[in-house]
């Protein structure tokens, strides 16, 4: 692999393939009995391991006119709504050629669920000519590297926290009996000092897949991704954000609720929404609810008043006593 790519695909001496790294997949694929596979019209699938929570594979493919071959990399993810932004490196191995970099392909791509990353097209006759040095003991080898930079889900670009995206300073958040998650230490500390202090300690709350997904949503939100939240997730995300003192997430939920919810749609369970807004300090959302209310007694009893914060009580006094909004 060229020196300029080693920063992206950190290389160890090859001994056992495929190599498994936390932040990328890279190594050498060796296709034995190349001529036999070519005559059969197919090549074996090579397992590269897991990256970004899914399995990745590679193989050689024959171009439609049967005159060229090329290497490909793809994942087993089948959701048509999800795409992956990747950095890919593919190169056929030939130590005897001075122009071997001409058979190298590197770049950033956006992979749809049914589209692989494609390497350089090489003429089959060029490879079969033994004088050209492509085949070693009848085997053809190609070098690969892939790193998932980001994911697009529901038309929103999200981060890949399943693997390290930073070569240094990445803080590992380890979930009990689950695959680890990674986020940058300084960013994590900025958004939640409490979570940063936990470091590599087990977070028992997120020990199963359900809570792991919710924790990833928390990381996405605190890193600035504007997720489309469902009603089911509001309470769970707010509860965890409040516990971890992730105030940016609480502010986002506050804004999102104001933009997407109305009193007419919520008044059937108005009391629950009012006191959730008070509990999590959703000031703008509470103000929008109070503004649309026509009756206080219908949703708030005298005992409920004792549970109100000073700020929320001022809102109700301003609305129903002084009619200020």
Strand partners, 118: 72
The domain boundary, picked from 103, 133, 157, lies at 157
Q: Quick one: average pLDDT of 163-183?
A: 56
321 and 227 in a common domain? no
99 and 235 in a common domain? no
CA atoms of 142 and 243, how far apart (whole Å): 49
188 and 112 in a common domain? no
266 and 239 in a common domain? no
CB-count burial class (<10 Å; 0-12, 13-18, 19+) for 224: exposed
User: Which one, of 266, 263, 205, lies nearest residue 231 by Cα?
Assistant: 266
Structurally, how many domains does the chain consist of?
Answer: 3
151 and 13 in a common domain? yes
3-state secondary structure 81-109: CEEEEEEEEEEECCCCCCCHHHHEEEEEE
If one compares 88 and 53, the residue with the highest pLDDT of the two is 88
- Compute the residue count for the chain: 325
245 and 134 in a common domain? no
Looking at residue 124, what is its pLDDT?
93
Q: Quick one: average pLDDT of 286-296?
A: 83
CA atoms of 189 and 192, how far apart (whole Å): 5
For the segment 187-223, what is each residue's pLDDT rounded down to a tens digit? 676 777 776 666 555 454 555 666 777 778 888 887 7
The proportion of the chain whose per-residue pLDDT surpasses 90, expressed as a percent, equals 17
CATH number at residue 64: 2.60.210.10
184 and 48 in a common domain? no
As given in the structure block, the two tokens for residue 73 are 């990399």
Of 73-87, 153-167, 208-222, the least confident = 153-167
Looking at residue 193, what is its pLDDT?
72
Burial 183-214 (b: 16+ CB within 10 A, else e): bbbebbeebbeebbeeeeeebeebeeeebbeb
64 and 206 in a common domain? no
Beta strands in the chain (DSSP E): 25-31, 46-51, 54-62, 68-75, 82-92, 104-111, 117-118, 122-123, 140-153, 156-159, 170-173, 181-184
Looking at residue 218, what is its pLDDT?
82
Q: Quick one: average pLDDT of 242-256?
A: 86
Strand partners, 182: 172
> What global pTM score does this model have?
0.58
Strands 54-62 and 68-75: antiparallel
Contact 240, 218 (CB under 8 A): yes
279 and 304 in a common domain? yes
Distance between first and last Cα of the chain: 66
CA atoms of 58 and 117, how far apart (whole Å): 9
Domain span at residue 35 reads 3-157
183 and 141 in a common domain? no
Residue 16 pLDDT > 50: no
The domain boundary, picked from 157, 189, 205, lies at 157
266 and 255 in a common domain? no
CATH number at residue 201: 3.30.710.10
As given in the structure block, the two tokens for residue 2 are 């060229």
The proportion of the chain whose per-residue pLDDT surpasses 70, expressed as a percent, equals 75
Residue 288 CB coordination number (10 Å): 18
Burial 122-139 (b: 16+ CB within 10 A, else e): bebeebeeeeeebbeeee
The domain boundary, picked from 241, 259, 277, lies at 259
Instruction: List, in order, residues 6 or more apart from 96 with CB less than 8 Å away.
Output: 132, 133
104 and 142 in a common domain? yes
For residue 181, what are the CA distances in angstroms to 165, 196, 220, 308? 11, 13, 12, 38
As given in the structure block, the two tokens for residue 10 are 């950190």
CA atoms of 306 and 325, how far apart (whole Å): 23
């Amino acid at each position: 692999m060229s020196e300029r790519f080693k920063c992206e695909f950190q290389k160890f001496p090859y001994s056992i393939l495929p190599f498994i790294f936390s932040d990328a997949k890279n190594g050498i694929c060796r296709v034995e009995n190349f001529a036999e596979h070519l005559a059969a019209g197919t090549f074996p699938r090579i397992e590269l391991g897991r990256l970004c929570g899914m399995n990745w594979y590679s193989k050689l493919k024959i171009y439609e006119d049967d005159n060229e071959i090329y290497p490909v990399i793809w994942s087993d993810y089948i959701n048509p709504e999800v795409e992956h932004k990747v950095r890919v490196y593919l190169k056929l191995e030939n130590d005897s050629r001075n122009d071997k970099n001409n058979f190298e392909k590197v770049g950033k791509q956006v992979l749809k669920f049914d589209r692989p990353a494609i390497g350089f097209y090489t003429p089959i006759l060029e490879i079969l000519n033994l004088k050209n040095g492509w085949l070693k003991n009848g085997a053809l080898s190609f070098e690969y590297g892939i790193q998932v930079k980001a994911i697009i889900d529901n038309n929103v670009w999200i981060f890949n926290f399943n693997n390290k995206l930073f070569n240094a300073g990445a803080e590992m958040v380890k979930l009990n009996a689950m695959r680890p998650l990674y986020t940058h230490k300084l960013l994590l500390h900025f958004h939640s000092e409490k979570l940063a202090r936990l470091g590599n300690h087990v977070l028992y709350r997120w020990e199963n897949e359900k809570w792991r997904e919710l924790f990833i949503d928390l990381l996405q939100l605190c890193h600035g991704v504007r997720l489309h939240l469902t009603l089911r997730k509001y309470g769970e995300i707010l509860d965890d954000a409040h516990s971890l003192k992730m105030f940016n997430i609480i502010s986002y939920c506050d804004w999102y609720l104001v933009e997407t919810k109305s009193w007419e749609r919520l008044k059937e369970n108005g009391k629950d929404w009012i006191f959730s807004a008070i509990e999590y300090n959703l000031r703008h959302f509470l103000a929008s609810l109070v503004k649309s209310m026509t009756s206080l007694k219908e949703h708030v009893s005298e005992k409920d008043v004792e549970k109100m914060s000073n700020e929320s009580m001022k809102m109700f006094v301003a609305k129903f006593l002084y009619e200020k909004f």
